[in-house]
């Protein structure tokens, strides 16, 4: 089956010096391609009501909880359910999927990552996400588009290449390999067990995985939600933290959404070949019997 032609990034994105600029599209590019038949636009938000209040024209909704997570097992949907999701959205290998969302693309990055778990790599992020689109006064609509069903066949999910589990994180801690905790400083130090202004979600202990370095996810973003330049990102992750492109890195947060944003930055914008997202994150680690924690900076 023929595959879609990758969007060509505009000069705004190319000027940022990313290793893989092709994974980003600008609001200007998307506005010019809203009716492109080879494009499928997906909104994925923390606030699942936002889409109904108004969305980018021709965008479809993917609910991170209902559409991507198994309703019973703490895991992602099966191959069959992922396959049906894409078929119902008119997506197959001939389509380029552009994700965007609220919270500077937290959940858009998460959806991007889950699609990659199933080997669907013809995916892009809208640089700046919903925030930038709204700030620029671009059009939002409430009508829900419909596209012809496809016959897309999904492969089995690959849980080893870009996903880390608790024991992977433990081995990283024991061998002193890089662990990046992308939560807020108060969560990292153990002062809080949840994000500011968010409810406590059931974790029993505060702190961080031993040896982890704290780089809050938001440091990678500008005020308008766009990603910082490659030079600025390298100043954070390499000069401050000491990461190297050849490192084997695991990123985590509380349930994997913020760390998928950092995973995207390291994997695509900075070109790190071996980066995994530990989606169990602190809600799993902080409740695990006999798993060590550190408290404080």
| Per-residue model confidence (pLDDT) at position 297 | 85
Report yes or no on 34 lying in a domain: yes
Report yes or no on 193 lying in a domain: yes
CA separation for the pair 88, 179 (Å, rounded): 37
| Per-residue model confidence (pLDDT) at position 1 | 41
CA dihedral 55, 134, 265, 120 (to 10 degrees): 20
Task: State how many domains the chain has.
Answer: 2
Are residue 122 and residue 175 in the same domain, yes or no?
no
> Do the beta carbons of residue 215 and residue 241 sit within 8 Å?
yes
| Per-residue model confidence (pLDDT) at position 12 | 86
Are residue 185 and residue 117 in the same domain, yes or no?
no
Are residue 124 and residue 214 in the same domain, yes or no?
no
Report yes or no on 181 lying in a domain: yes
> Do the beta carbons of residue 277 and residue 256 sit within 8 Å?
yes
Residue 52 has pLDDT above 60, yes or no: yes
Chosen domain end from 117, 135, 153:
135
CA separation for the pair 139, 133 (Å, rounded): 8
Are residue 196 and residue 88 in the same domain, yes or no?
no
DSSP 93-162: TT-EEEEE-SGGGHHHHHHHHHHHHTT---EEEETTHHHHHHHTT---B-PPP--------PPPP--SSS
275, two tokens? 């980066």
- Segment (H or E) for 213: strand 213-214
Tell me: the pLDDT tens digits for 193-226?
877 766 666 677 899 999 999 999 999 999 999 9
DSSP 252: E
Q: What percent of the chain has pLDDT over 90?
A: 86
Active site residues: 253
Are residue 204 and residue 244 in the same domain, yes or no?
yes
Are residue 280 and residue 168 in the same domain, yes or no?
yes
CA separation for the pair 290, 196 (Å, rounded): 28
| Per-residue model confidence (pLDDT) at position 220 | 97
Report yes or no on 238 lying in a domain: yes
By residue range, what is the domain housing residue 128?
Answer: 11-135
CA separation for the pair 217, 106 (Å, rounded): 9
Are residue 171 and residue 120 in the same domain, yes or no?
no
This prediction has a pTM of 0.94
Mean pLDDT, rounded, of the chain = 93
- For residue 168, CA distances in Å to 12, 162, 182, 263, 278 come to 38, 12, 17, 16, 9
> Do the beta carbons of residue 133 and residue 31 sit within 8 Å?
no
Are residue 114 and residue 169 in the same domain, yes or no?
no
| Per-residue model confidence (pLDDT) at position 198 | 66
91, two tokens? 């997506």
> Locate tokens 């559409």: which residue?
67
DSSP 237-249: IIIIT---TT-EE
Tell me: the pLDDT tens digits for 153-167?
999 999 999 999 999
Tell me: the pLDDT tens digits for 258-286?
999 999 999 999 999 999 999 999 999 99
Residue 95 has pLDDT above 90, yes or no: yes
Averaged pLDDT, 187-191? 93
What is the band of 9 on the pLDDT scale with cuts at 50, 70, 90? Answer: low
Are residue 125 and residue 186 in the same domain, yes or no?
no
Residue 4 has pLDDT above 90, yes or no: no
Residue 87 has pLDDT above 60, yes or no: yes
Residue 2 has pLDDT above 80, yes or no: no
Q: Which domain CATH number covers 274? A: 3.40.250.10
Cα torsion 114, 253, 194, 100: sign: negative
Torsion angles phi and psi, residue 274, rounded to 5? -120, 90
């Amino acid at each position: 089956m023929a595959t879609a032609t990758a969007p060509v990034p505009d000069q705004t994105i190319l000027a940022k010096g990313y290793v893989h600029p092709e994974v980003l599209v600008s609001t200007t590019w998307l506005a010019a391609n809203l009716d492109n038949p080879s494009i499928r636009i997906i909104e994925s938000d923390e606030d699942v009501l936002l889409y109904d209040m108004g969305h980018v024209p021709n965008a479809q909704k993917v609910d991170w909880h209902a559409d991507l997570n198994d309703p019973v097992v703490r895991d992602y949907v099966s191959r069959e359910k992922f396959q049906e999701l894409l078929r119902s959205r008119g997506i197959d290998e001939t389509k380029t999927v552009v994700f965007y969302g609220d919270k500077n693309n937290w959940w858009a990055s998460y959806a991007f990552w889950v699609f990659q778990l199933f080997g669907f790599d013809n995916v892009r992020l809208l640089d700046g996400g919903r925030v930038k689109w709204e700030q620029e006064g671009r059009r939002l609509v409430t009508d829900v588009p419909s596209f012809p069903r496809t016959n897309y066949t999904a492969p089995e999910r690959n849980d080893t290449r870009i996903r880390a589990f608790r024991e992977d994180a433990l081995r990283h801690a024991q061998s002193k390999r890089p662990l990046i905790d992308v939560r807020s400083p108060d969560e990292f130090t153990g002062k809080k067990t949840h994000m500011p202004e968010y409810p406590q979600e059931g974790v029993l202990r505060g702190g961080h995985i031993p040896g982890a370095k704290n780089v809050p996810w938001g440091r990678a973003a500008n005020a308008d939600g766009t990603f910082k330049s490659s030079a600025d990102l390298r100043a954070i992750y390499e000069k401050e933290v000491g990461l190297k492109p050849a490192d084997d890195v695991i990123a985590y947060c509380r349930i994997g959404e913020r760390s998928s944003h950092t995973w995207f930055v390291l994997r695509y914008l900075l070109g790190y070949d071996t980066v995994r997202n530990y989606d169990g994150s602190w809600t799993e680690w902080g409740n695990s019997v006999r798993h060590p924690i550190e408290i404080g900076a």
